[in-house]
Structure 1
Amino acid sequence: MNWYLEVLKKYAEFNGRARRMEYWMFTLFNFIIAFVLNMLVGFVGEPMLVALPALYGLFVFIPGIAVTVRRLHDTGRSGWWILIVFVPLIGGLVLLVFMIIEGEAGDNAYGSNPKVVVT
Structure 2
Amino acid sequence: MEYNEPKLFYSNADKTKGAEVPGTITNYKPPAPVLDTKGNKVLLGYTHFQDGIKSDTIIKFTIVFDINSIEDVNNFKKFRSKYNEFFYFVDELKTLYKGRLTGAYEIDSPIEGDIYYIGLEMLCGHDIMGCV
**Which TM-score bucket, shorter chain as reference?**
under 0.3
| Between structures 1 and 2, the one with greater helix share | 1
Q: TM-score, normalised by structure 2?
A: 0.26
| Between structures 1 and 2, the one with greater strand share | 2
| Higher RCO (Cα < 8 Å, 6 or more apart) | 1
